[in-house]
């Protein structure tokens, strides 16, 4: 959030325009979507309900919001146009929070919520609801005569989920404190019915992260119980290589149907990955490494590396290629490792510091050779290039480890039950 605007009241967001980075209007904010949490923790703000020009209401995740200021919302420009449907764990802030009767914890006095404020957590991309503006009194015709005050979220009762009688909402809220791999571990040991209920309640990005950590049988079971459009949304949110692995386990008819429902660009990446043998560089690679053109600067590279949704392995280097700068790219020129970026001035061009000594791998390179290559050169990622010299993607060390470990390694409890229950 911009300096000087550490907090925004949601009433000021109702109806404000939403713009993409080029200044084109996407739509207008109609509501905000939040998820309640256990233990009196402030609700997490998941995203915005935006009405686009066709009057369709869509969901815009807060991870796609780059700025809220001066009566406008700025997005990354990537918007999913599927119609918004509220899920069981979600609450509409304008529709369900405002005018709600709650009680002050200290006095037990009943108050009416007039407005709610949201703020972005320091050094994070997460947003949460932290305060609300309330009016004392019983409401009704005389409600405007009561005293008004702004209080912390913890100062009232009537919103947060209860710890006892845990249903799906409480379980999902508890899982929010865990890493995706720990959520996957917990899901694996639930009954199929319970597993499907929890999966249906998770938001798309969270479910995508969790699916990537589950055994294949669980992945197939969960994706098969989702509505097809929802399943396509989740596959789009997964890393392309993981989505390709999951789709490869489905019957041919189901696979083609889901690919047809996915965005064309996402589906094209997944289809390309599925065309390679599984235990080769092409079958292991991701199609979304950091790619820069030769005239990009060190500052440009560092800004890309800082993106919070990148894995450490992908953020460890950038790949320099001629246009186009999406896979398959123009001619691959070489790699710039993160440590080199830290040593050179921000204005230096990446083309002047590129490492072109290491020979990239061909997509048909077998897994043992990929493993030896990473070990020999102490790398966490290696580029994959076709015969014409275009970068196809990159194989990361975590993908290699997935294929070197025993097939059932994801089904092994490497955390104690007590640690998982406490979110450690």
pLDDT, tens digit (0-9, with 9 covering 90-100), for 252-268: 999 999 999 999 989 99
pLDDT average, residue stretch 322-348? 94
* pLDDT for the residue numbered 418: 34
Residue 4 · residue 27 · CB < 8 Å: no
Band the pLDDT of 98: cuts 50, 70, 90.
confident
Instruction: Provide the pLDDT confidence category of residue 298 given band limits of 50, 70 and 90.
Output: very high
CA distance linking residue 424 with residue 182, whole number of Å: 9
Which pLDDT score is estimated for 281?
94
- The confidence band for 411, taking pLDDT boundaries of 50, 70 and 90, is low
Lowest mean pLDDT among 181-190, 217-226, 297-306: 181-190
Which pLDDT score, from 0 to 100, does residue 345 have?
95
Please, are residues 352 and 298 in contact by the beta-carbon 8 Å criterion?
Answer: no
Residue 236 vs residues 214, 246, 382: alpha-carbon distances, Å: 17, 12, 24
pLDDT exceeds 50 at position 163:
no
Q: pLDDT-derived band of residue 338, with 50, 70 and 90 as boundaries?
A: very high
Side-chain-side CA neighbours of 22 within 13 Å: the count stands at: 4
pLDDT for residue 170 is more than 90: no
pLDDT at 207: 94
pLDDT at 139 over 70: no
| Poorest-pLDDT segment among 31-45, 107-121, 129-143, 351-365 | 129-143
Q: Give pLDDT tens digits for 57-89.
A: 899 998 888 888 768 998 987 788 888 888 887
Residue 68: its pLDDT value, please? 85
pLDDT at 174 over 80: no
pLDDT at res. 390: 95
**Cα–Cα distance for residue pair 259/272, rounded to 1 Å:** 12
Supply the pLDDT for residue 54. Answer: 76
Task: Say which residue, 171 or 86, is predicted with more confidence.
Answer: 86
Residue with tokens 């290491």, as numbered in its chain: 358
Helical axes 204-211 vs 228-237, angle rounded to 10°: 70
Pairing relationship of beta strands 317-321 and 291-292 according to DSSP bridges? parallel
Tell me, what's the pLDDT at 318? 96
Give 3-state DSSP helix, strand, coil % of the chain, rounded to 5: 35, 25, 40
Q: What is the mean pLDDT of residues 239-248?
A: 92
pLDDT tier at 422 (50, 70, 90 boundaries)? very low
Q: pLDDT at position 141, please?
A: 43
Task: Kindly report the average pLDDT of the chain as a whole number.
Answer: 85
């Amino acid at each position: 959030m911009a300096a000087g605007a550490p907090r925004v009241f949601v009433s000021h967001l109702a109806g404000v325009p939403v713009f993409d980075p080029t200044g084109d209007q996407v739509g207008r904010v109609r509501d905000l979507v939040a998820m309640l949490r256990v233990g009196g923790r402030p609700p997490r703000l998941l995203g915005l309900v935006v009405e686009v020009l066709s009057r369709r209401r869509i969901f815009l995740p807060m991870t796609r919001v780059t700025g809220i200021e001066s009566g406008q919302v700025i997005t990354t420009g990537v918007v999913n146009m599927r119609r918004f449907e509220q899920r069981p764990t979600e609450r509409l802030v304008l529709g369900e929070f405002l005018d709600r009767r709650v009680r002050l914890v200290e006095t037990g006095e009943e108050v009416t919520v007039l407005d709610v404020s949201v703020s972005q957590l320091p050094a994070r991309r997460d947003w949460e609801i932290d305060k609300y503006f309330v009016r004392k009194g019983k409401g009704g015709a005389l409600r405007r005569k009561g005293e008004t005050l702004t209080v912390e979220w913890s100062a009232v009762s009537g919103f947060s989920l209860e710890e006892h009688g845990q249903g799906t909402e409480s379980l999902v809220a508890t899982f929010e404190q865990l890493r995706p791999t720990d959520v996957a571990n917990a899901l694996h040991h639930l009954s199929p019915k319970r597993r499907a209920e929890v999966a249906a309640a998770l938001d798309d990005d969270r479910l995508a992260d969790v699916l990537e950590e589950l055994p294949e049988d669980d992945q197939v079971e969960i994706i098969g119980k989702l509505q097809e459009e929802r399943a396509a949304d989740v596959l789009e949110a997964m890393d392309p290589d993981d989505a390709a692995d999951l789709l490869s386990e489905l019957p041919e008819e189901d696979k083609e149907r889901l690919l047809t429902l996915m965005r064309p660009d996402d589906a094209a990446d997944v289809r390309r990955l599925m065309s390679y043998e599984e235990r080769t560089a092409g079958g292991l690679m991701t199609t979304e490494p950091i790619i820069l053109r030769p005239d990009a600067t060190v500052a440009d590279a560092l800004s890309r590396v800082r993106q919070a949704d990148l894995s450490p392995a992908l953020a460890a280097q950038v790949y320099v290629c001629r246009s186009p700068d999406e896979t398959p790219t123009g001619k691959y020129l070489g790699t710039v490792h993160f440590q080199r970026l830290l040593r050179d001035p921000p204005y230096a061009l990446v083309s002047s510091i590129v490492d072109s000594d290491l020979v990239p791998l061909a997509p048909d390179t077998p897994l043992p050779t990929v493993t030896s290559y990473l070990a020999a050169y102490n790398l966490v990622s290696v580029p994959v290039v076709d015969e014409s010299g275009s970068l196809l993607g990159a194989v990361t060390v975590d993908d290699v480890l997935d294929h070197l470990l025993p097939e059932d390694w994801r089904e092994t409890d490497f955390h104690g039950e007590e640690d998982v229950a406490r979110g450690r």
